[in-house]
Amino acid sequence: MKVLWIFAHPEQRSLNASLMREGLSELAASGHESRVSDLYAMGWKAVLDASDVHAPAPPGPQGPAPLAASRGADARLTVGAGQERAFLYGGQGEDVREEQRKLAWADTLILHFPLWWFGPPAILKGWLDRVLVQGFAFGLRGDDGRTLRYGEGGLAGRRALVITSAGARESGFGPRGVHGDIRHVLWPLLHGTFWYTGMAPHEPFTVYGADRLTEAGYRAYARRLRERLRGLPYEEPLPYRSERGGDYDGRLTLRPGIAPDGEGLDVHLGRGGPDRPDAAPVRETCGAAALRG
């Protein structure tokens, strides 16, 4: 595997940092390659703002337009289209371009963070906002002109894993737990980010009771993480339904015969994936494929 490990914790002596070192050691021992983006250590700029969408206008007969031509002083900031222009025509900051190059290199993405208010720290959300831009991670079209998403997209062909920690006990995150099933808590990442951009999400690795973990408890989780990473290349991802696999109608709603008595997020678990023989290929003119090498 070629693993890009995105780490979001401000303390190098933390439980999570210790587990990351365990994981990286296991990857190296198993012959895998890895690159790390330690967001706090990098001083990553978390806030998406106008500097992320300034880009040259598309090139015309006389060549590329100057940067200032893309937006007048009073023009409205349009994030999606602006980021796509910046990606296509060289207007992104080098920090963003470097992360996109790492992601294009990788076949496996790991997001590692403590669970804060049922989500990742703001710095990691900012990485997603600034790096997974339209034209690179999503917004691509197949040969038939349809948008590629939910099983297809700019990051198709990659696996993705969340490693996180929570202060609460495991039972509270079970199917009947007060906090909600951990897969439902992480739905915005697993389905709305990974699967939407084409990456195959795996069952998350969660450390429970992190605030009360003993040395023996830590060793047990470290051992489990090493075992999980050893088996990751052979592990089946979560079986989310592909948008174009036939289970959804034109309104993007499950057809009546699919899980007819089901409701909620689990109805989207079923068959399918982006490797169907009829899946439309991604254009090679943009997206992650354009940054490979």
Q: Is 236 left (phi over 0), alpha (psi -120 to 50) or beta?
A: beta
Q: State the amino acid at position 110 in one-letter form.
A: I
Mean pLDDT of the 61-72 span: 47
Q: Residues with Cβ < 8 Å from 251, sequence gap 6 or more?
A: none
8-state DSSP, 100: H
Radius of gyration of the chain (CA): 20
Q: pLDDT band for position 103 (50/70/90)?
A: very high
**Percent helix, percent strand, percent coil in the chain, to nearest 5:** 35, 15, 50
User: Which residue has better confidence, 247 or 99?
Assistant: 99
Q: Which of 244, 57, 70, 56 is nearest to 141 (CA)?
A: 244
Q: State the amino acid at position 181 in one-letter form.
A: D
Asked if 152 and 280 touch (Cβ cutoff 8 Å), the reply is yes
Q: What's the pLDDT score for residue 192?
A: 96
Q: What's the pLDDT score for residue 253?
A: 87
Q: What's the pLDDT score for residue 153?
A: 93
Assess whether pLDDT exceeds 50 at residue 7: yes
Rounded to 5 degrees, what angle do the CA atoms 26, 10, 131 make?
A: 80
For residue 19, what are its two tokens? Answer: 């587990």
Q: What's the pLDDT score for residue 262?
A: 81
Tokens 């089901």 correspond to what residue?
A: 262
Mean pLDDT of the 50-65 span: 63
Q: pLDDT band for position 31 (50/70/90)?
A: very high
Q: Which of 48, 32, 45, 41 is nearest to 12 (CA)?
A: 41
Q: pLDDT band for position 120 (50/70/90)?
A: very high
8-state DSSP, 143: T
In the chain, where the domains are located? 2-291
The fold of 2-291 is Rossmann fold (3.40.50)
Q: pLDDT band for position 170 (50/70/90)?
A: confident
Mean pLDDT of the 69-90 span: 76
Measured CA to CA, the distance from residue 16 to residue 10 in angstroms comes to 10
Assess whether pLDDT exceeds 70 at residue 142: yes
Q: What's the pLDDT score for residue 288?
A: 72
Main-chain phi, psi angles of 159, to 5 degrees: -100, 160
Q: What's the pLDDT score for residue 77?
A: 81
Asked if 238 and 202 touch (Cβ cutoff 8 Å), the reply is yes
Lowest-confidence range among 18-22, 107-111, 196-200, 239-243?
239-243
Measured CA to CA, the distance from residue 211 to residue 281 in angstroms comes to 46
Assess whether pLDDT exceeds 70 at residue 287: no
Average pLDDT score over the chain: 87
**Residue 239 burial (CB count, 10 A):** 13
Assess whether pLDDT exceeds 90 at residue 47: yes
pTM beyond 0.95: no
Mean pLDDT of the 68-73 span: 47
Measured CA to CA, the distance from residue 79 to residue 99 in angstroms comes to 19
Q: pLDDT band for position 165 (50/70/90)?
A: very high
C-alpha dihedral over 132, 287, 86, 150, to 10 degrees? Answer: -40
